[in-house]
Chain A
Amino acid sequence: MNKISIIIKREYMTRVRKKSFIIMTILAPVLMAAIIIVPTLVMMNQDQDFKKIAVIEDNSDLFKNVIKNTKNLEFVYLENTKMEDLKNSFEKQGYYGILYISPELVNTPNAIQLLSKKQPPIGLLDHIEGSLEKEIEKQKLMTYNIQNLDEIMKNIETKVSIQTKKIGDSGEVSETSTGIAMALAYLSGFLMYMLVFMFGAQVMRGVIEEKTSRVVEVVVSSVKPVQLMMGKIVGIALVGLTQFLIWVFLTIAIAGVIKSTVLKKENLTEVSQNMTKSLMNDGQQAAAGTQTAEINPQMAEFSKLFSNAMNQPWGLIILCFIFYFITGYLLYASIFAAIGSAVDNETETQQFMLPVTIPIILALMVAMGTMQNPESSLSFWCSLIPLTSPVVMVARLPFGVPYWQLAVSMAIMVITFITFVWMAAKVYRTGILMYGKKTSWKEMWKWLKYSG
């Protein structure tokens, strides 16, 4: 099999040395990070803009000074001003927008309007809605004539934040976050789809290149067609694995940098300590905890997310990812190789591409659905069906998958890819030397049965 290794080496080296590969490998994680970080930064910056908002109430003062000012928001309660007076000039007077409250608001939830030139940020709306909801509740409660209402209200003020934990088979408890699991499911599902499709298509392009340039006649007079096909498929698989592993290491490196700089160790432990304490509901400690959290609430949230992310079963996820990448890729790459061998140029691939793209795009859609409902029977079946299982199964992994399902899915996957490689080799052997003939699925089926 020395000749296969020569072919693998060529396929690997010519691709890895390409500028596009090097750029893609280094830039992809940076881009991925940018996609997540930039919008967050933009949103945070937007929220930090100072906004002055005029509040006009229609013929009453039910909600006078109910909405509290914050660091970035100032609410100016205007009496004896009509909406029409301000409508055209509020921007000139330095207002971000006009909040118009009708007294009907107590009974009609949508009797309130915010007029502004720009789309108001969610944070602003949350603040207004929260303040008014509380005030209306309070006013409604007051009609029951409860004594010391103000004090009671202050006492019963509560905040709830669910701490999700997962219990492993051996009983150990780890903190998880559905958000992290969803993000991870999305990321791995999409990455799997992209890698399988991208490298599978590369196999096809490589086969077509060899066929149209007639390199194949020269090569096939030295090695068997199957050796050429397998050499190409394996060579490109190694390129894909190289890229993936570099991405994994880069991500680990980036995570390490974040951990050691942004979230200094004391900071992290302090925050989590505070959280446990506040959970214990110890009055004084809780107050202190809230204080720290208030000082840097974003940081606290971030470090919590970060430590939750660390609690994911990374080893299992990465190993399974590699397994499904290899088998899924082999499955699709062999189909792509067969298609590439059957056509004379890339435009002719169209008719064959559709039936191949449908299952993998379907898989991606099911994977997206999996994020909402990881236990659905659709995700279950699609994570067993070999054409969709690579994408769907990796999307299910962060939510936890029973081992027997994983084992069944993997077994089916292995059997299928071996069958497909075998069939593709037969089609390839005939197709690669066939020129100037429009090939159909029927024709390819015939080639399957040729011998010699």
Chain B
Amino acid sequence: MALFEAKNVTKQFGSVLALDKVSISVPEQCIFGLLGPNGAGKTTLIRIINQITGPDSGELFLNGNRLKPEDVQYIGYLPEERGLYKKMKVGEQALYFAQLKGLSKAEAMKRLKYWFKKLDMVEWWGKKVEELSKGMQQKVQFVTTVLHEPKLIIFDEPFTGFDPVNTNVIKNEILFLRERGATIIFSTHNMESVEELCDNITLINKAKTLLEGNVYDIRKQWAANEYDVVFEGDVTFPGNGQFDILNKQTENDKSVIRLKAKSGADTNDILKIALNSGRVISFNPSLPSMNEIFIRVVEARN
């Protein structure tokens, strides 16, 4: 069942159409990628989900019911540009945001202690935000976003500013949150993390939906029947009526051959020919990266 749904959402700012009948459907406990180039309308959609602005037309549903103003307590939002009061102390600030989300002071305090301990932030409590580094501030913001245990969490570019270690920490926290039942909408330009984390995506460009669905399905769909065969050493791999060799690279005692199967070709036959040609290390369908798909889809429309 979809935890969150937007149906035919349209929003216009003056003469600019920001969203044109965009629909998304986010299944429960899913990590949902909201993709699109700059200015595509992602932020507008996120703001509408957060009820910061209202749509001109279209409907929004949370858990099958129409989205209500009180529902903000079930939603957590980590905006792309971090929003913390620079002169305020970390602990006070986290408490303030938690209370705005409807937590009691005592409850907020209890949960903050847990999270500060978990993410190794305890000694930051009495510091002013401006004394923290960018990555540290982001960790604080992350905690304030998830503290009220929202059912739906929206992360807008959550990894910018993090070093690899902390990126990993936050990645694991996101997966952990999903395990505990949260549903996550994840907006990013980093396609590697999309492949790694997202189950489903929607790609919007110029206010319209261009692509949507399961990440693996999409990649398979866009795959052009191409395979990568890796051999040990330098081998000659003859062409065959069933496939064409597109490319061959030899380096570090390995040969990587990209081939394109003709329609109706059987991969087992191809593999047999390969096995006869030398020692095969791997044989993989070459799925296009999300990055390639993104660029191809967006450029085709432009």
Instruction: State how many residues of chain B have any CB contact under 8 Å with chain A.
Output: 31
Taking a contact as CB atoms under 8 Å apart, the answer to whether A221 and B51 are in contact is yes
Min distance, Cβ A142 to any Cβ of chain B, angstroms: 80
Q: Mark B51-70, 1 if CB is under 8 A from A, else 0.
A: 11111100000000000010
Taking a contact as CB atoms under 8 Å apart, the answer to whether A218 and B79 are in contact is yes
Taking a contact as CB atoms under 8 Å apart, the answer to whether B96 and A10 are in contact is yes
- The interface-forming segment of A85-93, A143-151, A208-216, A359-367 is A208-216
Taking a contact as CB atoms under 8 Å apart, the answer to whether A214 and B81 are in contact is yes
Taking the complex as formed, is B99 at the interface, i.e. its CB lies under 8 A from any CB of chain A? yes
CB within 8 Å for A217 and B79 given contacts A6-B96, A6-B100, A223-B100: yes
In the docked arrangement, what's the CA distance between A102 and B60, Å? 99
Most interface-central of B14, B52, B87, B88 (chain A CB within 10 A): B52
Chain B residues in 8 Å Cβ range of A215:
83-85
Secondary structure class of chain B's binding surface, majority of residues: loop
Taking a contact as CB atoms under 8 Å apart, the answer to whether A452 and B85 are in contact is no
Taking the complex as formed, is B82 at the interface, i.e. its CB lies under 8 A from any CB of chain A? yes
Chain B residues in 8 Å Cβ range of A7:
100
A6 closest partner in B (C-beta): B99
Taking a contact as CB atoms under 8 Å apart, the answer to whether A3 and B83 are in contact is no
Find residues 1-32 in chain A having any chain B CB closer than 8 Å to their own CB. 3, 6-7, 10, 14
Min distance, Cβ A105 to any Cβ of chain B, angstroms: 70
Chain B residues in 8 Å Cβ range of A45:
none
Taking a contact as CB atoms under 8 Å apart, the answer to whether B85 and A213 are in contact is yes
Q: Mark B66-109, 1 if CB is under 8 A from A, else 0.
A: 00010011010101011111111000000011011110000000
B81 closest partner in A (C-beta): A214
Min distance, Cβ B151 to any Cβ of chain A, angstroms: 14
CB within 8 Å for A220 and B52 given contacts A214-B79, A214-B81: yes
A432 closest partner in B (C-beta): B52
Chain A residues in 8 Å Cβ range of B55:
452
Taking a contact as CB atoms under 8 Å apart, the answer to whether A433 and B96 are in contact is no
Taking a contact as CB atoms under 8 Å apart, the answer to whether A213 and B84 are in contact is yes
Taking a contact as CB atoms under 8 Å apart, the answer to whether A216 and B87 are in contact is no
CB within 8 Å for A221 and B77 given contacts A213-B85, A214-B83, A216-B83: yes
Residue in A217, A224, A452 whose beta carbon sits within 8 Å of that of B83 in the complex: A217
Chain A residues in 8 Å Cβ range of B102:
222
B56 closest partner in A (C-beta): A452
Residue in B52, B72, B75, B101 whose beta carbon sits within 8 Å of that of A217 in the complex: B52
Taking a contact as CB atoms under 8 Å apart, the answer to whether B53 and A452 are in contact is yes
Find residues 210-252 in chain A having any chain B CB closer than 8 Å to their own CB. 210, 213-225
In the docked arrangement, what's the CA distance between A214 and B43, Å? 13
CB within 8 Å for A213 and B52 given contacts A6-B96, A6-B100: no
Chain A residues in 8 Å Cβ range of B101:
222
CB within 8 Å for A222 and B97 given contacts A217-B79, A446-B14, A452-B53: yes
Chain B residues in 8 Å Cβ range of A221:
50-52, 72, 75, 77
In the docked arrangement, what's the CA distance between A218 and B53, Å? 13
Chain B residues in 8 Å Cβ range of A433:
47, 52-53
In the docked arrangement, what's the CA distance between A56 and B297, Å? 105
Q: Mark A369-393, 1 if CB is under 8 A from B, else 0.
A: 0000000000000000000000000
Min distance, Cβ A331 to any Cβ of chain B, angstroms: 27
Taking the complex as formed, is B144 at the interface, i.e. its CB lies under 8 A from any CB of chain A? yes
Min distance, Cβ B130 to any Cβ of chain A, angstroms: 10
A5 closest partner in B (C-beta): B99
Min distance, Cβ B82 to any Cβ of chain A, angstroms: 6
Chain B residues in 8 Å Cβ range of A217:
47, 52, 77, 79, 81, 83
B85 closest partner in A (C-beta): A215
Min distance, Cβ A210 to any Cβ of chain B, angstroms: 8
In the docked arrangement, what's the CA distance between A216 and B81, Å? 11
In the docked arrangement, what's the CA distance between A97 and B86, Å? 64
Chain A residues in 8 Å Cβ range of B85:
14, 209-210, 213, 215
A217 closest partner in B (C-beta): B79
In the docked arrangement, what's the CA distance between A83 and B82, Å? 81
In the docked arrangement, what's the CA distance between A222 and B86, Å? 20
Chain B residues in 8 Å Cβ range of A224:
69
Min distance, Cβ B99 to any Cβ of chain A, angstroms: 5
Min distance, Cβ B244 to any Cβ of chain A, angstroms: 49
Q: Mark A342-367, 1 if CB is under 8 A from B, else 0.
A: 00000000000000000000000000
Q: Mark B14-50, 1 if CB is under 8 A from A, else 0.
A: 1000000000000000000000000000000001001
Min distance, Cβ B111 to any Cβ of chain A, angstroms: 16
Chain A residues in 8 Å Cβ range of B144:
218
Chain B residues in 8 Å Cβ range of A222:
72-73, 97, 100-102
In the docked arrangement, what's the CA distance between A209 and B97, Å? 16
In the docked arrangement, what's the CA distance between A220 and B79, Å? 11
Most interface-central of A10, A14, A217, A452 (chain B CB within 10 A): A217
In the docked arrangement, what's the CA distance between A216 and B14, Å? 22
Most interface-central of A14, A209, A220 (chain B CB within 10 A): A220
Q: Mark B115-149, 1 if CB is under 8 A from A, else 0.
A: 00000000000000000000000000100100000
In the docked arrangement, what's the CA distance between A224 and B50, Å? 11
Taking a contact as CB atoms under 8 Å apart, the answer to whether A213 and B100 are in contact is no
Q: Can you spell out 9 A-B residue pairs with CB atoms less than 8 angstroms apart?
A: A14-B85, A213-B82, A214-B83, A215-B85, A219-B83, A222-B101, A224-B69, A433-B52, A452-B55
Task: Give me 14 other A-B pairs in contact (C-beta within 8 A), A210-B85, A220-B50 excluded.
Answer: A6-B96, A6-B99, A14-B85, A14-B87, A209-B86, A215-B83, A215-B84, A217-B77, A218-B97, A218-B141, A218-B144, A222-B72, A222-B73, A224-B69
Residues of B within 8 A of A (CB): 14, 47, 50-56, 69, 72-73, 75, 77, 79, 81-88, 96-97, 99-102, 141, 144
Residues of A within 8 A of B (CB): 3, 6-7, 10, 14, 209-210, 213-225, 433, 446, 452
Which 6 pairs across A and B sit closest by C-beta, in order of nearness?
A: A214-B83, A452-B54, A215-B83, A221-B50, A217-B79, A218-B83
